[in-house]
Amino acid sequence: MFCKRLPNSKERRMRLLQDDQHLSDCEFLVGDSPDKEPQRFRCHKMILASASEVFERMFYNKYMMQDLTDELVKHLKQKHNWTISDVWPIFDLACLYENLPLLLLCYEKITKSVVTLLSVDSFYELNANHLKRVVILVSQQPHISTKLMLQRLEEYGRRNKLHENRESEQFFKLVEAACLLDFNKLSKADYESGLRQSYLFNKK
C-alpha cells in the first residue's frame, strides 16, 4: 500500500509563492515585438530583492535617501493632528517607498476611521497600484460589507473615468482589487443588483 506524501510546510510556502497571483506584488512585461501582447510574469519583491542588490535598491530605497525617509516617518508619527484627508496621500507615499513603519501607522489610522475614509475625495485619488492593499486591509474589518467596498471601487473607477478605457493598466488594477472581495458574503439580492450589474465585470 502506497500513500501520497503530503508537502511539508516549506514546499507548501514555495508553491504558494509560485502559484498564488493574488500574493504577488510586482509584474514584469516581457516581449520584443510591438505587434504582440507581452507576456506577464507575476513576481514577489521580497524574493527578487533577496537575490539582487539592484532589485533591492529599486524596490526599497530607490533614491538612496534613507536618512530623509526616516526623518519623514518620525515627523509623521509625531504629528498627532492628521486630518482625514491626510491619510490616503500618506498611505500612497508609504506604499511607494515600501516603508513598513509608515504603512503600519497608516493601517492604524485607516482601521480607526475606515467608513469615513472610504468616502473622502482623497480615496478616489489613490494610486491604482495600491488598491489591492486597501481591499485586503478593509476586508478584515467586520463592519465593512463587501457591497460597500464594491460600491466604493466602482465609484473610484467612475471618478477616474477608468470605465471609458477598459484596456488601461489602471482599469486592470481596479478589477484585480475588486476580485479580492469575498463575494460569498453578498446576499442574493445584492449579487443580482450589485455584482451582476457591475461595470467592473461586464461590458454593459
**Confidence at residue 163, expressed as pLDDT on a 0 to 100 scale:** 83
- State the CB neighbour count (10 A cutoff) for residue 109: 18
Give the span between the Cα atoms of 1 and 78, in whole angstroms: 65
pLDDT-based confidence at residue 3 (cuts at 50, 70, 90): very low
Which amino acid is present at 24?
S
> For the chain, what are the domain ranges?
9-30+39-60
Higher model confidence: residue 109 or residue 186? 109
In angstroms, the CA 136 to CA 121 distance is 20
* Predicted model pTM: 0.64
What is the number of other CB atoms lying within 10 angstroms of the CB of residue 45? 16
Contact present, 149 and 190 (Cβ < 8 Å): no
Task: Over range 150-159, report the average pLDDT.
Answer: 93
Question: Is pLDDT above 90 for 124?
Answer: yes
Evaluate if residue 40 carries a pLDDT over 70: yes
Interval 42-96: pLDDT, tens: 777 777 777 777 777 666 675 555 676 677 777 777 766 788 889 999 999 888 8
pLDDT at 2 over 50: no
Measured in whole angstroms, how far is the alpha carbon of residue 31 from the centre of its chain?
25
Segments of the chain assigned E as strands? 26-30, 39-43
Q: If DSSP states are collapsed to H, E and C, what string results for 136-185?
A: HHHCCCCCCCHHHHHHHHHHHHHHCCHHHCCCCHHHHHHHHHHCCCCHHH
Which pLDDT does position 97 carry in this prediction? 77
In contact, 30 and 39? CB cutoff 8 Å: yes
